Amino acid sequence: MILILQIHIFNIPPQNTLVDLCSCQILIQNTIVGLFFNGCIHWLARRPDLFMDVIIAFDLMERKLFNMPFPDCFNHEPRDWGLWVFGESLSLFAKDYVRRRVEIWVMKEYNVHSYWTLHPVLPIDDISTIFFSPICSTKSGDIVSTDGRTGLLKYNDKKQLIEHYYYCDGRLPIRSKVTVYTESLLSVPGDNVQV
């Protein structure tokens, strides 16, 4: 799915007049939902004005919009890539249908173009690559992903598939969404809590 989006970021200084801090037109790739990482919301996008694919980031504290270029050797179609956090680094994944694998590109230093590195690839010989998507990585280096249909996959730190767990009871959904719950210090009020 491609969505054309015109972005304007405004500020209202003490003079009570709108100031357009920055603006650009982007084509959002794959998803409208942004990825929160390092105090910013990130999207994969195509900048028609720059003739390139980029990661667009909006810094929530600074209220600034900026671009991060893809790795130099990254050569995949928009429908085949996604954005996620691998370990503690912003990362791209790209499905390679011909070689039956998923490449993982890791940005070792945030917002530094030359610090993209290709991580060992994940073989996907026994699963569908159409909806494959990594979900999270563990402290030990394991990668948990979804096959996009009815299963979760677990790869060890040597990138070997060690588990394929099916969570559907026979009904076959076309696609399913999976997310990770991260415990935080923020308390969400419940029925028995007074606010």
Q: How many CB atoms lie within 10 A of CB 105?
A: 21
63-110 tens-digit pLDDT = 788 888 888 888 887 778 888 888 889 999 988 888 888 889 999 888
pTM of the model: 0.72
Query: Which long-range contacts does 164-172 make (Cβ < 8 Å, 24+ apart)?
Result: 164/126, 164/127
pLDDT of residue 1: 47
**184 token code pair:** 């935080």
16-65 tens-digit pLDDT = 555 555 555 555 555 567 788 998 888 888 777 777 788 888 888 887 88
Residue 111 binned pLDDT confidence (cut-offs 50, 70, 90): confident
**96 token code pair:** 């390679």
- Alpha carbon of 100 to those of 32, 94, 104, 132, 146: distances in Å? 27, 11, 13, 11, 16
| Of 82, 67, 185, residue with least CA distance to 134 | 82
**Phi, psi at residue 78, to the nearest 5°?**
-55, -35
Among 44-53, 93-102, 153-162, 183-192, which stretch is predicted with the lowest mean pLDDT?
Answer: 183-192
Residue 6 binned pLDDT confidence (cut-offs 50, 70, 90): low
Domain locations along the chain: 1-69, 71-179
- Examine the pLDDT at 153 and tell me if it is beyond 80: yes
